[in-house]
A and B are shown apart, each in its own frame.
Chain A
């Protein structure tokens, strides 16, 4: 039941270190927003500013139309789940979950009902009398989440909540969070993560933070299929998108690009005649490459340097020219026999991206 609005929000630490500037975003009620970005780009800082744990140095934060810049954390209607769980080590699970309600001077029966309901939702009923040190990592994480549910906040803030869990538990807890979100369609959530899968599966909208600002904001598939710039193109998706240097040769409904290494790339992007001769980077995702059949247009040709067979897919690494990143192609099935051979690759023009000065021609 809450919408958030950030207007020109900025953060300067100690009057010198500028971490974020001019962040503008609008988060609608019931949305789950995921912040991603390279380490140190200010994801936690932005989240903590929303929580009120960090002062907002410029701009305004509104929750439901009320400016929250100077409102203390407890009165913003938010709850936060920390990466380290931050459970109170000397209190039982029950007391951990009841703490906020006791502070708020709720009645005993009300507290009990809220705690038991949250515990039931997260399968914690059997552990209510335990101390945090007697719980597994996953159970601790659920207590941390339960502690936030109990307060019935308008906005949930998660800072890398699953990063301390092992892979299997991460998947299980991720699904639990998704179910939780489904059961509370009105609550707004902001979720910080490093994990692409988490971002892609959970998010209604992903915000990619980079270079003190927002690189792109949009639905997961939007970011994957129509990245606005080279940074987002390479950040979303794994392995990262291949970038090949070239110049525009043919314009019109389709664009032809003369690649530096000798072949020609075709993209379903409309260009004007005036753009002919511009230097561009052509972006192709490894999974969009396939082996060219006889007579098909060849996009790239090279000797396979190294093969990683993962079972369902095979990754081909090609010799890099100069200090460029190696080209990677991801082919379905097993192709262990390709090592050392010269392979011809092609790609669907509809899935080829073209960037001029870092910005995509497709989304301009």
Chain B
């Protein structure tokens, strides 16, 4: 008994640890990508994305207002007052100085004696008071070297560039819609075809059914690359050429064996009595399919739809072969990112943003449908 309990708990531990490892492996890069996409090029260059979440200490070079414009006379002395930061900044100064050799000469709030009665006071929020006579307060503003803690700062500029700038090299928006145009029909068509085929293979009696199933299982292991060139030749030969129709057909063809196989296995597991009862009730095969089989197969349909969607969304190879032509009008996101790597190789913020745009939809789909994914995968195996 002890033994069994022991192995069970160590197994549980192994499961828990591997889950944690998987989550970390998945979460960190995704999070990094997301955060980087909201940072400027400078921020990315100077600090890692994990630091962007927390306030950071920076050495700043600031300048007071120009005395020629802003000085006022008060009780015989001239005064320049103002704030060192742009409005809305939440930085907090801890120490400061007026010379580059001594940047931490004074605490925030301290008054510095700059000689001959000239003084400077800097508060931690950046408010300063600079006093002196007419001669001392002339020309440009005084330079202030300050060590300040600045809160995290994020920007939407990258998304503006990538989605709305309209520049042909950076533009992900068009590629995004092209990808959708490829993906949605390339998900729906194979599911519809496969559902019909799976019903026939599971529940209709006809000659050669077993052979057909065997052929489909065989097709599961045929590598897609094998068919690329002959298929493209065929498409060009019959006049489809490169374009959406071609890529839909290709994705449908490549997705069908797995779809039929999965759905047939699921449908075969539905109780025979229910289907026979529907037959006695007078339903035709088509009515049995639409009214009984389809609703009951929803988990399997959904889980296959997720697979097919993700696979076509992330596909580059099939799109390159069957869709993207020299005009570049029909480029998809995966291809656009490859091109960005060439044209914007150094601009990490643009690349991160483009990458995040392209994974956002799969993420949404995954989280919205995950319960069907689990249910659909289990449904065939567990009664």
Contacts and interface: CB of A to CB of B under 8 A. Distances in A.
The SS class assigned to the A binding surface is loop
B27 interface: no
A63 interface: no
A104 B282 contact: yes
B279 interface: yes
The SS class assigned to the B binding surface is helix
Nearest to A75: B282
A36 interface: no
Given A74-B281, A103-B281, A86 B287 contact: no
A84 B272 CA distance: 10
Contact of A51 (B280, B287, B292, B295): B280
B361 interface: no
A86 B274 contact: yes
A74 B296 contact: no
B239 interface: no
A85 B274 CA distance: 8
Contacts of A78: 280
B296 A73 contact: no
Contacts, number: 55
Contacts of B278: 88, 99
B271 A84 contact: yes
B281 A86 contact: no
A82 B273 contact: yes
Interface in A59-81: 72-75, 78-80
A103 B280 contact: no
Interface residues of A, number: 25
Interface residues of B, number: 16
A151 interface: yes
Nearest to A51: B280
Given A53-B280, A100-B282, A90 B273 contact: no
B216 interface: no
Interface in A131-184: 147, 151
Contact of A86 (B276, B291, B295): B276
Contacts of B295: 90
A322 interface: no
Contacts of B271: 84, 86
A100 B292 CA distance: 13
B274 A53 contact: no
Contacts of A99: 278, 281, 283, 291
A86 B279 contact: no
Given A82-B276, A84-B271, A86-B274, A103 B283 contact: yes
A84 B270 CA distance: 13
Nearest to B281: A100
Nearest to A99: B281
A89 interface: yes
B343 interface: no
B360 interface: no
Interface in B274-301: 274, 276-283, 287, 291-292, 295-296
Interface of A: 51-53, 72-75, 78-80, 82-90, 99-100, 103-104, 147, 151
Query: 10 closest pairs, A vs B, by CB?
Result: A74-B282, A86-B273, A100-B281, A86-B277, A82-B273, A73-B280, A90-B295, A103-B282, A84-B273, A86-B274
14 contacts: A73-B280, A74-B282, A74-B283, A78-B280, A80-B280, A82-B273, A84-B273, A85-B273, A88-B274, A88-B277, A88-B292, A90-B296, A147-B281, A151-B281
